[in-house]
Amino acid sequence: MVANGRSTAVSVQATSPLKVLVPRSSGDSVWAYLSSFGGGLVAGDETDIDVDIGPGARCFLGTQASTKVYRNPLGLPCGHRLRAAIGEGGVLVLAPDPVQAFAGSSYRQRQEFRLAPGAGLVLVDGSTSGRAARGERWGFDRYQSRNDVFLGDDHLLADSVLLDPADGPLDSPHRAGRFNAFALVALVGEPLAEAAARMLAEVGARPVQRRAPLVVAASPIRGGALLRIAGESVEEVGREVRRHLGCLSGLLGEDPLARRW
């Protein structure tokens, strides 16, 4: 909520395996970071998060590091569910580090965002091939992610990804192929209108390069824009995400990603 002209966290609660850290920010927005007691998700861990952004409030929600999903010999899937409500004129920036699913792991996540009129959302959702340096490239059992964005009763975005070796090798040329990281960036709502337009224009003007190490595509959606990135390098995908989030400083009073990527 907004108190004395500043966005303020009035209630923060978490239970194991989740931790929520809320350091003091230099701007007028709330910064919060998700973490876990075990450094990742193990043995069927499930995180269930509710976020309520009051009218006019602005919040950045990230993670301390990549979300690691550890190998699970018992086959119990790990999961994450987030529901966010953003009040009129409020802004939520959800920009966690990518999910890193280890060999033999299973992960599913579902995120739902409900925006009031005049609200804004910056959504980053990314994943990597796993511990490629240890020979575990695309070695997980299953990865599933779905994001739904609503403006009032209008369903603006339904984005779903399923990576399952049962449908064929994930590293085959017609699936993940040579890429080791994927990311989705969505800019939705009135506060992000200019940033969304700039992103569409910038990506649309890029030349097409054969077998480029980084592939970027942008498309308009009702109320904003959607960016998809595929890269051979996890670090290069992170830098590309960062390039398109130059609007954060204006939205939050300071850029929380400036020292990360």
Q: Where are the domains of the chain?
A: 2-182
Rounded Cα distance between 7 and 243, Å, is 25
In tens, the pLDDT along 153-200 reads 899 999 999 999 999 999 999 899 999 999 999 999 999 999 999 999
pLDDT at 26: 66
Smallest Cα–Cα separation from 95: which of 136, 144, 34?
34
* Phi–psi pair at 191, nearest 5 degrees: -65, -15
Specify the pLDDT at position 28: 82
Mean per-residue pLDDT over the chain, rounded? 91
Which band of pLDDT confidence, cut at 50, 70 and 90, is reported for residue 64? confident
Confidence label for 260 from pLDDT (cuts 50, 70 and 90): low
Least confident of 83-87, 104-108, 130-134: 130-134
Give me Rg for the CA atoms of the chain.
Answer: 18
Full 3-state SS string of the chain = CEECCEECCCCCCCCCCEEEECCCCCCCCEEEEEEECCCCECCCCEEEEEEEECCCCEEEEEECCCEEECCCCCCCCEEEEEEEEECCCCEEEECCCCEEECCCCEEEEEEEEEECCCCEEEEEEEEECCCHHHCCCCCCCEEEEEEEEEECCEEEEEEEEEECHHHCCCCCCCCCCCCCEEEEEEEEEHHHHHHHHHHHHHHHCCCCCCCCCEEEEEEEECCEEEEEEEECCHHHHHHHHHHCCCCHHHHHCCCCCCCCC
Per-residue pLDDT averaged across 84-101, rounded? 97
Mean predicted confidence (pLDDT) in 41-67: 93
pLDDT at residue 77, as a whole number:
85
Residue 235 near residue 193, CB atoms below 8 Å: no
User: How far apart are alpha carbons 215 and 205 in whole angstroms?
Assistant: 14
- Nearest-angstrom CA–CA distance, 37 and 45: 11
Give the C-alpha separation, 34 to 105, whole Å.
Answer: 21
Q: Which amino acid is it at 56?
A: G
Q: Does residue 261 surpass a pLDDT of 60? A: no
Residue 95 or residue 11, greater confidence: 95
